[in-house]
Amino acid sequence: MSEKIYCFTLPTPFTVGDVNVYLIAAEKLTLVDIGPKTEEAWVQFRSQIEDIGYRVEDIEQVILTHHHPDHVGLADYIKNEDVSFVSLAYNLPWLRKDQEFLTHHDQFYEKVYTEMGIQQFHKKAMSQIRRYLDYSCTITVDTVVQEGDEIAGLTGWIVLETPGHAQGHLSLFKKSEGILIGGDHVIKHISSNALIEPPPIGVEERPKTLLQYRESLKKVIEYNVKVVYAGHGEVVYNPLELVQERLIKQEERAERILSMIEAEALSGFDICKRLFPSIFLKELGLTMSETLGHLDLLESENKIDVENKNGVLFYCKKGAASQ
Ligand SMILES: [Zn+2]
């Protein structure tokens, strides 16, 4: 049967603005992402699905590209319908939100923020990161997928794991047409942030999210993706070009940081404030992720030294005398 892809654009309470979710009318009526848990998004969602002749109850499966609230929250509104949720294993605890997960989540951010030297803004950062979860959902994932899997009722599409923006981020790829439904992997008007996120429960090591993200961006080139249906903003018709641009911008930002720490050793938070003087306080999570990611990149290239002073990490250019 011939399939059709529809895009619904829903409001979110976040700085990123509207989110796009995609309805694929294939053998199974499949939704990719669903929107944040707000009344406003729900009203919009229902009205847009009815506009194209379907009802909410017709949805048979929902594939969640990643666990961020603007993509999953509304799942709470349809979870009692006869619908199955599909996602990567990493996302299960994020979508379950039980005490074990919340403890793991909070302990991870406590540690990373302490190491970054955030001090008096620690509480603010923790409450920002916690408040975000209010717009998420509490659901059980019915089908766990992984790299290369096909999804029942969606012939011709495969799962590509594209971690970086989020741990447990997947994209759906239709090889015959070069279409990628990419969640927040590639967005036209903004560079997607490689957010600091905890490893799976039971794993100690912090994921190096920008390094992962760069590998996942290269996948777009490797698979010769022709068009990306993005989670925010317009359709991307030149993904290979855009990806190259993003990779170069990241290298430039890393070089900028390197010049900041040529003469003095700075904590992650000091660097964050210098990189984003006007927005760091409003967007602590995003700006610190951006900073730490680029420090990871410099460290992976062996360009910096890191020193732990009383639990806070200080970074300086390799060979420069630390203070
Ligand atoms: Zn996201």
What percent of the chain has a predicted confidence (pLDDT) above 70?
99
- What residues form DSSP beta bridges with 19? 10
- Spacing, Cα 67 to ligand 1 middle (Å): 7
CA of 160 to the centre of ligand 1 (A): 16
Q: Which amino acid is at 45?
A: F
What is the CA(71)–ligand 1 centre distance, in A? 7
d(CA 198, CA 141): 19
Quick one: 221 and 287 in the same domain? no
Residue 222 has pLDDT above 60, yes or no: yes
Mean pLDDT in residue range 253-261: 97
On average, the pLDDT of the chain sits at 95
* pTM across the whole model: 0.95
Give the mean model confidence (pLDDT) for residues 285-306.
Answer: 97
Residue 30 lies in a domain: yes
Model confidence at 86: pLDDT above 60: yes
Q: How far apart are alpha carbons 215 and 164 in whole angstroms? A: 8
Nearest of 86, 59, 57 to residue 72 by alpha carbon: 86
Instruction: Return left, alpha or beta for 121; rule: phi > 0 is left, psi -120 to 50 is alpha, else beta.
Output: alpha
Domain identity same for 145 and 290: no
CATH of the domain at 51: 3.60.15.10
161 pairs with which residues across the strands?
170
pLDDT of residue 41: 98
What total number of domains does the chain contain? 2
Q: Which domain holds residue 113?
A: 99-131+248-322
How far apart, in whole angstroms, are the C-alpha atoms of residue 211 and residue 1?
40
Cα-to-centroid distance, 33 and ligand 1 (Å): 11
Output 121 or 59, whichever has higher pLDDT: 59
Shared domain check, 157 and 215: yes
Locate 54 and state its tokens. Answer: 């379907």
The residue from 214, 238, 262 where one domain ends is 238
Q: How far is the CA of 323 from the centre of ligand 1 (A)?
A: 38
- CA–centroid distance, 319 to ligand 1, in Å, is 37
Evaluate if residue 1 carries a pLDDT over 70.
Answer: no
Task: Give the integer Cα–Cα distance in Å for 90 and 167.
Answer: 7
Dist. CA 305–CA 146, nearest whole Å: 36
Q: Do 154 and 305 form a contact (C-beta atoms < 8 A)?
A: no
Please tell me the distance from the alpha carbon of residue 46 to that of residue 40, in angstroms, as a whole number: 10
Ligand 1 centroid vs 316 CA: distance in angstroms? 31
Distance 262 CA to ligand 1 centre (A): 33
pLDDT in tens, 144-174: 999 999 999 999 999 999 999 999 999 999 9
Rounded mean pLDDT of 275-290? Answer: 94
Identify the domain boundary among 220, 238, 256. 238
The per-residue pLDDT for range 107-133, each reduced to its tens digit, is 999 999 999 999 888 888 888 888 888
Closest CA to 49 of 3, 10, 2: 10
**Mean per-residue pLDDT for 195-220?**
97
Instruction: Report which of 249, 96, 88, 84 is spatially closest to residue 168, judged by C-alpha positions.
Output: 88
What does the pLDDT read at residue 302?
Answer: 97
What is the 166 CA–ligand 1 centroid distance (Å)? 6
The CATH number assigned to the domain holding 309 equals 1.10.10.10
Indicate whether 323 pLDDT > 50: no
Mean pLDDT of 289-308: 97
CA of 109 to the centre of ligand 1 (A): 18
**189 CA → ligand 1 middle, Å:** 14
- Placement of tokens 């942030």 in the chain: 193
Single out the residue in 203, 238, 273 at which a domain terminates.
238
Ligand 1 center from residue 66 Cα (angstroms)? 7
| Angstrom distance (rounded) from CA 6 to CA 148 | 24
Left (φ > 0), alpha (ψ -120 to 50) or beta: where does 95 sit? Answer: alpha
State in Å: Cα 72 to ligand 1 middle: 10
Matching residue, tokens 């594209």: 162
